[in-house]
Structure 1
Amino acid sequence: MIRKANAMWRGTGRDGAGDLTTASGVLNGTAYSYKTRFEDEPGTNPEELLAAAHAGCFTMALAFALQQAGLTPLELKTEAAVSLDPADGGGFRISKSALTLRARVPGLDDAKFQELAKGAEQNCPVSKVLNAEITLDAQLEA
């Protein structure tokens, strides 16, 4: 399976701007720039897209793990907070992705929940590709 996206950029790094388009059309000429990445201008940025990918990948991996355990979640809600920090030697690096999960799963005790959530965090494909610290705060709610 191969998924594709395209980036177009015009101008310099700080003053230029670009747009992102995915093969599915979910993103279609979506704006990104220095200001959408490092300031608060409307548009997206690579870290936001990576956060969405990590949150989605982890949550789906957990849904499959719960299904294999014979459980059906009522709700799995995950936030991924991706940190972009200065890198040693200059430039920037993505240093961390902090996953925060709130879940409602009938018939699941906390010990098993933590085990399944940790397994999903370690085994989702996006977690595996990241060269960054990944943390998980998982809470099972009533």
Structure 2
Amino acid sequence: MASIMRSASAHWAGGGKDGTGHISSASGVLKEAPYGFNARFGDGSGTNPEELIGAAHAGCFTMALAFRLAKDGLAAESLDTTAKVTMEQEGEGFRITRVALSLRARVPGTDEATFKALAEEAKAGCPVSRLLKADITLETQFEG
């Protein structure tokens, strides 16, 4: 299979604390979405890179799990994933130290132990998981 490339862009004007920026994606899903210091390090409005990483990781993992289930002839009624991204100060900079995935799933035709094993495989194999060097955890809530 040929390689796949996706792109996004960011614009920034001003200093780190008083500047403002926006993020856009080539697909147009994000179009000049605002971001800034307060959205990233406080409770200001706008998005931030960590939130976008969380969205990307939740989406990637959930789709990877759907493919992994299908490989065993299973189809999910529902897979709902939340990704909580933790960023901590390290020296004078910051580092993403953890991504906590939380999954609620309804998958008929399997048992909880098998499901958890398949979910762990999907977590390990998802391209975003493989990209991140943070500690990535997974909590599952199996509903049948």
TM over 0.5: yes
| Cα distance in structure 2, aligned partners of 1:25 and 1:136 | 30
Count of residues in correspondence between the two structures: 141
Name whichever of 45-54 and 89-98 sits farther off. 89-98
Post-superposition shift, 1:108? Answer: 1.1
* Gapped regions of structure 1 (runs ≥ 5): none
Q: Which amino acid aligns with 1:72?
A: A
Deviations 1:9-55 (A, max 9, x none): 00000000000010000000100000110111111000000000000
Q: Which amino acid aligns with 2:13?
A: R
Q: State the partner residue of 2:13.
A: 10
**Identical pairs, percent:** 54
TM-score in terms of structure 1 length: 0.97
The answer to whether structure 1 residue 48 and structure 2 residue 51 are counterparts is yes
| Cα distance in structure 1, aligned partners of 2:125 and 2:71 | 15
Secondary structure of the corresponding residue to residue 43 of structure 1: coil
| Cα distance in structure 2, aligned partners of 1:35 and 1:90 | 18
Q: Which amino acid aligns with 1:34?
A: F
Q: State the partner residue of 1:112.
A: 114
Q: State the partner residue of 2:30.
A: 27
Post-superposition shift, 1:92? Answer: 0.3
TM-score in terms of structure 2 length: 0.96
The answer to whether structure 1 residue 84 and structure 2 residue 87 are counterparts is yes
| Cα distance in structure 2, aligned partners of 1:45 and 1:4 | 17
Deviations 1:85-108 (A, max 9, x none): 011x32100000000000000111
Q: State the partner residue of 2:134.
A: 132
Post-superposition shift, 1:124? Answer: 0.1
| Cα distance in structure 1, aligned partners of 2:37 and 2:84 | 19
| Cα distance in structure 2, aligned partners of 1:19 and 1:139 | 36
